[in-house]
Chains A and B, each alone.
Chain A
């Protein structure tokens, strides 16, 4: 099974400052079809997860451009260029190349 490891466990960010979350997979997420099946979600308090980024770096519909994803193979990063109050919640990475596996989550709060 593919293991997804997220760091840090939590982040406290001043509004307007950047934030970065790392996600590492135990196996490459690059498929033979050329796509890399790595996704990022935000779960706001009391809500279902909402997709932010798909296939490493593509923003889902309606996602602000302050969110960006990067990486390849087994190492991935989600960056928020300027954190806003509405960005609080738990961020998860997820792999979809073999079944589905989630990272442990990163809780983002506002200072």
Chain B
């Protein structure tokens, strides 16, 4: 069974940084692309970005809203994907989900950007 557990969320001031982690189990992590999706309070789902598997170069893609500020990386030896978020803005406030799209989703971790 695919299991994904996000961690690292919390309250952070605008302009600061935060790193989220997604710990995976139940599948061969290194074989899959991993995505991050966020959901602002009361809003819909927004794709943030993903990282391909090493077999496909391990390259990344990002939504325009976060490009240049967010970085996704992965440690296949630990089955963990990371989302490094820099220069955070109030509009980045959301629940952040890790997903092995389309089937596996974590429970999400809340990031609140506020002074």
Contacts and interface: CB of A to CB of B under 8 A. Distances in A.
Interface of A: 1, 39, 41, 43, 48-51, 54, 60, 90, 92, 94, 96, 99-105
B105 A49 contact: yes
B101 interface: yes
Contacts of A101: 47
Contacts of A105: 44-45
Interface of B: 35, 37, 44-47, 50, 61, 63-64, 97, 101-103, 105-108
A99 B50 contact: yes
B106 to A, nearest CB: 7
Nearest to B97: A48
Contact of A96 (B45, B101, B108): B101
29 contacts: A1-B64, A39-B102, A43-B45, A48-B97, A48-B105, A48-B108, A49-B45, A49-B97, A49-B105, A51-B103, A54-B103, A60-B103, A90-B44, A92-B44, A94-B101, A94-B102, A99-B50, A99-B61, A99-B63, A100-B35, A100-B47, A100-B50, A101-B47, A102-B44, A102-B45, A102-B46, A104-B44, A105-B44, A105-B45
B16 to A, nearest CB: 26
A102 B103 contact: no
- Which 6 pairs across A and B sit closest by C-beta, in order of nearness? A100-B47, A48-B105, A102-B45, A105-B44, A39-B102, A104-B44
Contacts of B45: 41, 43, 49, 92, 94, 102, 105
Contacts of A41: 45
Given A99-B61, A100-B50, A54 B44 contact: no
A12 B91 CA distance: 31
Contacts of A90: 44
Contact of A99 (B47, B102, B103, B105): B47
Contacts of A102: 37, 44-47
A41 B37 CA distance: 14
Contacts of A60: 103
